[in-house]
Structure 1
Amino acid sequence: MAGRRPRVLIGNWREEAQLEEQERLRDFMLKRERGELLVQKINSLQENLLQKTELSVSKDGFVHFGDAVLLLNPAPAAPVERDPGACGSLALALPLDDSYLYSAAPLRPPGGVSAVQGVDPVRRNTFHILSVAGGAVEEPIRFGQKFGLGTRGGFSDQMLYLASDHKSFLRFAKKSHLQQVFLTEEMSYLTCWQAAFWDPQLRLEHEGLPVPANSKIIITHCHTNRSLAVPRNFWTRSYFGKEYEVVCHTYLDSHKAEEDKNYWEIVTGNPGNRDGSMLDRPDPQPGGIRKELCEEA
C-alpha cells in the first residue's frame, strides 16, 4: 500500500546500533578519565568545599586577626514573608551552583558568595580574619578598624577575598539589583571591611574597643559605606539546597537603626568539640521568641 512504512527493519541497522553503543561507551570512558562524570563531581565537591574544618577558639571572648570563623546572619526576630524556611540562621559561604555539576569545565573558584542554611563549619563557609593595616596575628580587631575576610574554600592554597564595589549598569546583584558582593584574588581598597556595634545609640561608646565573638554586630564595607546584608527574599535552588543572595545594602527602620538583614555574628570554635562551633553549646535561653516564631511560620 502506497505510503505505508514497513514493519521490518531493513539494512545494516544492527551494525549502526552497535556503533552507537560503542560510541557511548567511548564517551563514558573519556569522561571518567577527565573526572567529568556526575558522581565524580559530587565526590570532588564533598572532598573540597564540604570537608569539615576546625574554627579558632577564642580564649578571651574577642575576635583576632588570623582567626578562622563563621560569618553568621542570625535568625530574624520575625518570620520571613513568602519563605518560612529562611527563618533560621544563615552562614556566608561559597555558592554551589548546578553549573559545577553539569559543566565540562574543571572545578574552579566561584566569583560570588551566598548565604546557606548549613552552619556546620566546612571549607565553603569558613573565613579568615585578615589584617590590611599591619595588625599582628592574634591581636584583637577593634570596632572601626579595617580588616579583610578571606577564604580558601577547598581550592588548593589560593586565598579569595570578600569584596564589593559601587553598583553600576553592568555590575549589580542578579536578583535584587543591589550592590553586589563578590570574591577576588587580590587585596585592595575593595576588600576592606570594618565592624560597628549593632546599637547606633551606643556605637560611639564602643568605637576602638575589641570586637566580641559570637555577638551581634554590623559589618560595613569601607569604600562604599554600605553594610553587608542578606535580604532573604532572593534565592536560587541548587543541588545542595537554597542559596540566598548576599548584598551590600544598609536596611534602616523607622528609628534609623539597622534591621535584622544587616546583623552578623563572628562565630568561633567550640573548645569542647574540635569540629564544632560555639553554636553547638547550650542555648542560655532555650525556646526563645525566635524559635517560637520559626515554628509558627
Structure 2
Amino acid sequence: MAQRTVFNCNVKVGNWNEELQRKEESKKVYLDKRERGELAAQKIDFLKQNILGTVNLSLTTDGQVHFGDFVMLVNMGGENRECSSVSINAGVNNLIRIPSPGIKSPCGVSAGRGILPCRRTAFIITSVDGSPEGSTLLYDQSFSLTTTRGFARGLYLTSDIKSFQKCAKISRLQEVTLEEEVSFLSWWKVVHFDPQERLEYEGQPVPADVKVVIRHCKTNQALAVMGDHMLWTLYGKEYEVTAHTFLDSHKAEEDKNHWILCNPDPAGSELVPLDQPESACDNKEPTQGNTDGI
C-alpha cells in the first residue's frame, strides 16, 4: 500500500513566508495612507466636505447684476431635463493639498440638479475691461466667470473652438472647462434672450433673475445644458455643459441656452423663486443704464 502524506491546516506550504511578508507590507501601506488621509474614500469625503460648503450669494438691492457679485447660473429646464445649475465637476484627480487644499485645473463642469448656493455652484462676475467692482454689468459687455477663492481656487470658465483632441466627452461639441489662467478664451457676454429685442437692449443693465443668453466672446457660441447627455459624477447623475447655440425654427435660441443669473431675494435668506423665469421688466421699455465708472 502506497504511503500517503496527509497535511493538516497548520502545515505551511509553498511560498508561505513571502505571502506573509506581502500581506504585512500591504497592511502597513494601507495604515500609512489612512493616517495621511490618502485613501480614495477619504479623498472623496474631504473633497465633498469642502466643495459643498455654503456660499452666500450677493444681495441685489436694485435688481441688477454687478461686477464682483456672487451668482448662480441656473437653467430652468425643459422637455427632457430638470432645473439645473452650472457646477464644478471636480474629481479626486483634481484634488491637491500643497501649498493649500484645493482643486487644480483643468477641471470640468456639469449642470447639477441641486441648485443650492455652495462653492461648487457659485461664480463671481469678474471684470476684464477695467470696470470697477460694484459697477453694473451691461448687455453685450465682456466679462469672465470665476469660481470662488480659497478651495475652489478662483478658476475661470473657459472654452475654445472644438477639435478632434479637445471637445465635450459625450456630445462632442465645444467643451467648457475651468482653467487657472485668464485669457480671451474665458471672456463671455450676456445678450437678451429675444433676438428681436437684442439691439434695443444692448448697453442696458443686465437684470438679476431674468432669462438671458450667455455667449462665448471668441466663438460666439452660447452656453448650453445638454438634457439628453448625462454624466456620472461624484455628486450624482448630471447634465453635460457645452458651448453651442441651439436655434429653433424662428432663429431664436432654444431653452437649452437660456440662463438666469440667480441672486438672493431682498430678505437675503432665500433664492428668488425660480418658477418665474421672466420678471416684469421683460415687458417694459429699456431705460438708460447707469454707466458711471464703466
TM-score, normalization by structure 1: 0.81
Query: How far off its partner does 1:18 sit?
Result: 5.3
Q: Which runs of 5+ in 2 are unaligned?
A: 278-294
- Residue 46 of structure 1 deviates from its aligned partner by 2.8
Q: How far apart in 2 are the matches of 1:271 and 1:225?
A: 34
Q: What is the distance in 2 between the residues matched to 1:236 and 1:284?
A: 28
- C-alpha distance after superposition, 1:177-228 (max 9, x if no partner): 1111111111111111110100111111111110010010000001111111
How far off is 1:6 after superposition? Answer: 6.2
Q: Secondary structure at the match of 2:185?
A: helix
Q: Which amino acid aligns with 1:131?
A: S
In 1: Cα distance, 2:125 partner to 2:46 partner: 27
Q: Distance in 2 between matches of 1:19 and 1:12?
A: 15
Q: Is the 8 A contact 1:70 1:92 kept in 2?
A: yes
Aligned to 1:22: 24
Cα distance in 1 between the residues matched to 2:263 and 2:276: 17
Tell me, yes or no, if the aligned pair for 2:105 and 2:180 is still in contact at 8 Å: no
**Displacement of 1:169 after TM fit?**
2.0
Compute the TM-score of the two structures, normalised by the length of structure 2.
0.82
Looking at structure 1, the residues matched to 149 and 91 of structure 2 have their Cα atoms a distance apart, in angstroms, of 14
Q: Which structure has the larger Rg?
A: 2
Deviations 1:154-180 (A, max 9, x none): 526x32101111112211111111111
Q: 1:171 to 1:39 in 2, by over 3 A?
A: closer
Task: Find the aligned partners of 1:284 and 1:89 in 2 and give their Cα distance.
Answer: 12
Query: Quick check: 1:91 aligned with 2:85?
Result: yes
- Percent identity reads 42
Residue 125 of structure 1: aligned partner: 121
Equivalence map 1:13-92=2 (5 Å)? 19-76=21-78, 79-80=79-80, 87-92=81-86
Matched, 1:241 2:236: yes
Q: What RMSD in Å do the two structures reach over aligned CA positions?
A: 2.9
Structure 1: gaps of 5 or more residues: 81-86, 286-297
Q: Partner of 2:228: helix, strand, or coil? A: coil
When residues 279 and 36 of structure 1 are mapped into structure 2, their CA distance, relative to the original with a 3 A threshold, is: farther
* Contact in 2 for aligned 1:216/1:263 (Cα 8 Å): yes
Name the structure 2 match of 1:115.
111
Cα 1:72–1:6 change in 2 (3 A) is: farther
2:88/2:121 contact within 8 Å kept: yes
